[in-house]
């Protein structure tokens, strides 16, 4: 299950994680975000042993999205060792999401 994370928890939960982290930047009012959310949850359930999945509501926690240049949502980023490894912006299918995550995580 994707874990909600706030700006206050971002460093500990994402940057200091001992495994790769997929971060879903989203908002309540964003239709494509709502469509992508169940796919992110499925990915979390399927790949939870290889990747930590977190979600950040950009309205409640604006610091991390600003710091990492999030301009449109949904934005997905994979962090490895505290750094952004790759970014995807916009909606995607379950297959596209899975293939992208696997290519970045291994």
Average pLDDT over residues 9-16: 97
Q: Is 30 a catalytic residue?
A: yes
- Token pair listed for 105: 């995580």
Stretch (H or E) spanning 75: strand 75-80
The CA distance from 61 to 27, in Å, is 10
Count of structural domains within the chain: 1
User: Of residues 2, 30, 70, 97, which has the active-site annotation?
Assistant: 30
Q: Are the C-beta atoms of 19 and 52 separated by less than 8 Å?
A: yes
Residue 106: pLDDT band (50, 70, 90) is confident
CATH number at residue 11: 3.40.30.10
Provide the residue range defining the domain that includes 29. Answer: 3-105
Structure confidence by residue, pLDDT tens digits, 28-76? 999 999 999 999 999 999 998 999 999 999 999 999 999 999 999 999 9
SS3 52: strand
pTM of the model: 0.96
- Marked catalytic residue, from 22, 33, 36, 53: 33
Confidence band of 86 (pLDDT split at 50, 70, 90): very high
Give pLDDT, residue 48: 87
Q: Is 81 exposed, middle or buried (0-12, 13-18, 19+ CB in 10 A)?
A: exposed
Tokens of 97: 């999401």
Residue corresponding to tokens 């240049």: 69
């Amino acid at each position: 299950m994707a874990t909600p994370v706030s700006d206050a928890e971002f460093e500990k939960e994402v940057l200091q994680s001992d495994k790769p982290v997929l971060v879903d930047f989203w908002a309540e009012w964003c239709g494509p975000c709502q469509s992508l959310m169940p796919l992110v949850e499925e990915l979390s359930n399927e790949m939870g042993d290889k990747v930590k999945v977190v979600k950040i509501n950009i309205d409640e926690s604006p610091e991390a999205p600003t710091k990492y240049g999030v301009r449109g949502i949904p934005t997905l980023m994979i962090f490895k060792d505290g750094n952004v490894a790759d970014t995807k912006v916009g909606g995607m299918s379950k297959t596209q999401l899975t293939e992208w995550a696997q290519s970045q995580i291994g």
